[in-house]
Amino acid sequence: MQSMKLCNQFAHQSPQLMCEHYGITPHDLARIQAFAAVVEPKMDEMVDTWYGWLKTQPEFDEFFSEQDTLTRVQGLQHSYWQLFMRGAVDEDYVARRRRVGAAHARIGLPLDTYFAGMNRFLQCFRDLAEESGMEGGEVAATQHSIAKLLHLDTAIVVDTYNAMVEETLTAQSQSLLEMSTPVTHIWDGILLLPIVGLIDSKRARDVMNATLEKIAQSQAQVFILDISGVGVVDTAVANHLIKISRATRLMGCESVISGVSPAIAQTIVDLGIEVGDVKTTATMKDALATAFRQLDMEIRENS
């Protein structure tokens, strides 16, 4: 099968260019059209044989065990191969193949199962060609033509499948990003961002972008960055925190880093990191008290 590296180019290619990629000529399509007369009488038997094989696969119970589903997808298989045997690669053909890829992506059908299934059908076509009574040279030529179009089909399906999976992963990553940078307006003029886990360069940029955007929206005057849930603070992490603190100050918002444990403080000292005038506190309570003083606010208990 030709390299799937070509698949990501298909999104903006015409059917003609797709055919050229896989060396599919008008002669190949004409052979497939002629071979349709051999395949059509055997279509039911071929599909039944294929589903007999599918029932032996572990994915069958997960995706096709219900009789209604099985009947429906068997009908779709007939339509799929009838279109294949039409031997006309046009916009409709490509669109319908993309719908197959989209359907497989939505249900999560493993690609290795799809590849194995297509290989089974290819073998069925090869066997039918050998049994058709055609001359030897024409048998080989027909088998080769079918293989080329089947490879193109696979490329279109996989291209669509991968595009949908990538789109889903991107959406999930964006959701995780939003959850990992929950800048919250906890008081009038005060923002809070608790960070849990590790901080790398990308996450630090995400934190800075989310924070500065929230400051611009809320016109907050104090930003509390709580790092009590950060597992490791090294030179890189400390420098990221300092950069975030300085960036907020440029927007007129004072930054307070809370959750600085004795171990973190010792690490920063041992590493010789210059924190400058960055404000730090040991606890969130201290950070809030600092923020209230910054805003000339005072909280009193009701008497």
pLDDT band at residue 212 under the 50/70/90 scheme? very high
| Structure-token pair, residue 211 | 């924070």
* Residues contacting residue 232 through CB under 8 Å, at least 6 positions apart: 198
d(CA 142, CA 132) in angstroms, rounded, equals 11
User: For the chain, which domains are there?
Assistant: 4-178 (1.10.490.10), 184-294 (3.30.750.24)
pLDDT score, position 266: 84
Other Cβ atoms less than 10 A from the Cβ of 84: the count is 21
Question: What pTM was estimated for this model as a whole?
Answer: 0.59
Q: Which residue has the tokens 């260019």?
A: 17
β-strand partners of 194: 226
pLDDT beyond 60 at 211: yes
Tokens for 281, please give them: 């506190």
Q: What is the pLDDT of residues 77-106, one digit of tens each?
A: 999 999 999 999 999 999 999 999 888 888
Residue 204 dihedral angles phi and psi, to the nearest 5°? -60, -40
Higher pLDDT, 1 or 44: 44
Under 8 Å between Cβ of 256 and 281: yes
- pLDDT tens-digit readout, 182-207: 889 999 999 999 988 778 788 888 88
What does the pLDDT read at residue 90? Answer: 95
Q: For 112-127, write each residue's pLDDT tens digit.
A: 988 999 999 999 999 9
- Choose among 199, 298, 287, 213: nearest CA to 247: 213
